Structure 1
Amino acid sequence: MKNRTTALDDDPARTSGASGGTPVWLITGCSGGLGRALARHALERGDRVAVTARDTAGVAALVDAHGDRALALRLDVTDAASVAAAVERTEQAFGRIDILVNNAGYGYLAAVEEGEDDAVRTLYDTNVHGVVTVLKAVLPGMRERRSGRIVNVSSFGGLAAFAATGHYHATKFALEGLSESLAAEVAPLGIAVTIVEPGGLRTQWAGTSMRQSPTRLQDYEQTAGRRRAATLAVSGRQPGDPVRAAAAIATAVDSATPPLRLLLGSDALAGARARLERLRHEIDANEALTRSTDLERAS
């Protein structure tokens, strides 16, 4: 019998004719971390999952353990052809996509001035443009069925920004704005959007997955430089559990009214509340100046 990860590329008959009413997921970035934990959670509860990665060898064992309910598909969000092929194969195998999880992405360490142009563009291509590519491939089927769930994995870093991760924050802030607009557009069509904002999860985000600029400017060593070191040092010691995070996402997806935003982790919760308080204070402190720009109304 062929290995399942290669058979999907070589034998279309193996991915057609699936039936049943269990939910169908397509998850990007399943080679590790939250994406892998979420794929495993969905499969273990009996759902059907397109487990995608740039290299399917990294997800072969997970897929092989779950028979015909799992597909290993190559999907590189920066490659529109691979996205289209993965969506088509999923729909051939399972008939539809009920739940799309845009999880693929990575971090980048650099002061804003230190960021390398090509590296920053590649970061946007994955964290923002890649999400749009996947959305545009999956949404037609959801619109036709008038149902679906979309989960866009952002970060607490999509709500608040810090030194050394400005370019990463910019991609997540962009994703948050995109997701809010999308939610308003698709809600009348029976499609719900949830923005997931994890705090520190014990994954390789700050470890082997992290990229950084080789440029180090002395003027930023006490700000971006110190935070670079602190970010890398926390790898393996983050408080969040990706397995529990996956279960929380599944619970939100199952809800009749999924939340627009879902914070994950007590660190994200505390940080978000502190951010709201700082924002409220700044708005209130400048209220008179803010109102001064209005045209005077005739009495």
Structure 2
Amino acid sequence: MTKTWFITGTSSGFGRILTEKLLERGDRVAATLRRPEALNELKKTFGDLLWIEALDVTDTAAVRHCVDKAFADLGHIDVIVNNAGYALFGAAEELTDDQIRRQIDTNIIGSIQVTRAALPHLRAQGGGRSMQLSSMGGQISLPALSLYHTTKWAIEGFFESVIQEVESFGIEVTLVEPAGARTNFAYGSMDNAVRMDVYTDTKVGEFRKARAAGDYHPALDPDKVALAMMASLRTSPAPKRLTLGSDAYKLVHAGLSKRLGALEAQRDIALSADYDPVR
């Protein structure tokens, strides 16, 4: 049975790949992006299966108008995919105030406002699925990506709460946590801070050199990420998380194990902070 999807950030990366695969399968896609002309060729090929609207997710009024228009025009939307976003690379003190604000406005507030705009419609139609493009970076962290990790850890916390708020309405949520991939997201749209020489011989400098050398060859297949997202709709209740890629599995597993070990090591300290039992 065909589905109707609403996807942000469809000009490139996972959003573009997912859009193409859904259209090829015969699903309808409401595609949003800042430059609608980037989808002209897809529109010629797929016609009415593809609904296109210009959207900058940092404009909250535009987000509400766009989501309302999509539901009005298409009648029923089965899946909301928050994909729009980008990464900001640089040590924390290298970043400008404007870079920090834009990263937060796009990756956190944009996703929150798309979700808030869609929830009344999903409730009214009796349910639906929401997918949030997070990252393995929502569970672990790497140097020089502090603000990117800030946004991914924050959006995971947001949805951990929202999942509990909306489950009684038949609305299910999945956080998608891919590993690094060779897409335009990582190799074209990433914003870079102006480097400070003081970080040259630190982990930030090492990471920067590795990126510049082009020695990183991700194992993750972006096409398989899109296929896994599509296949997840056949599972209900929805998986809360889709961790995708061997790198993501290994790094997230190691990170969670280390955090759990640290928690267990402090068990006695944690319990000792309660009021003493009344005797």
- Select 1:238's aligned residue among 218, 222, 242: 218
Partner residue, 1:296? 276
Q: Is the 8 A contact 1:163 1:224 kept in 2?
A: yes
Question: Higher mean Cα deviation, 73-82 or 84-93?
Answer: 84-93
Distance in structure 2 (CA, Å) of the matches to 1:217 and 1:80 = 38
Amino acid at match of 2:23: L
Q: 1:206–1:234: 8 Å Cα contact kept in structure 2?
A: no
Confirm whether residue 284 of structure 1 aligns to residue 277 of structure 2: no
Task: Work out the CA distance in 1 between the residues paired with 2:65 and 2:90.
Answer: 35
Which residue in the other structure is 1:202 paired with?
182
Q: Does 1:114 align with 2:94?
A: yes
In the alignment, which residue of structure 1 is the partner of 2:85? 105
Partner SS for 1:40: helix
CA gap of 1:235–1:171, structure 2 versus 1, over 3 A, is farther
Residue in 1 aligned with 2:148? 168
One of 152, 157, 174 as aligned partner of 2:132: 152
Seen in structure 2, the aligned counterparts of structure 1 residues 284 and 194 have a Cα distance that, compared at 3 Å, is same
Post-superposition offset of 1:131: 0.7
Give 3-state SS (helix, strand or coil) of 2:205's partner. Answer: helix
Q: 1:206–1:232: 8 Å Cα contact kept in structure 2?
A: no
* Deviation of 1:236 (Å): 7.6
- Counterpart residue number, 2:6: 26
Q: 1:277 to 1:144 in 2, by over 3 A?
A: same
**Mapped partners of 1:34, 1:127: distance in 2:** 15
Q: How many residues align?
A: 279
Cα offset, 1:41, TM superposition: 1.4
* Deviation per residue, 1:10-52 (Å, 9 max, x gap): xxxxxxxxxxx83210100010110011111111111110111
Q: Secondary structure at the match of 1:66?
A: helix
| Aligned residue number for residue 49 of structure 2 | 69
Q: Which amino acid letter does the alignment assign opposite residue 209 of structure 2?
A: A
Give the one of 42, 50, 53 matched to 2:22. 42
The more displaced of 79-88 and 162-171 is 79-88
Q: CA shift at 1:275, angstroms?
A: 1.1
Superposed displacement of residue 96, structure 1: 2.1
Q: Does 1:270 align with 2:212?
A: no
Matched residues in 2 for 1:127 and 1:133: separation? 11
Contact 2:130 2:172 in 1 (8 A): yes
Structure 1 gap segments, 5+ residues each: 1-20
1:143 Cα shift?
Answer: 1.0
Q: CA deviation at 1:278?
A: 0.8
Residue 229 of structure 2 aligns with which residue? Answer: 249
Compute the TM-score of the two structures, normalised by the length of structure 2: 0.94
Question: What CA RMSD, in Å, does the superposition of the two structures yield over aligned residues?
Answer: 1.7
Task: Using the TM superposition, give the Cα deviation of residue 219 of structure 1 relative to its aligned residue in structure 2, in angstroms.
Answer: 4.5
121-130 vs 251-260, which moves further: 251-260
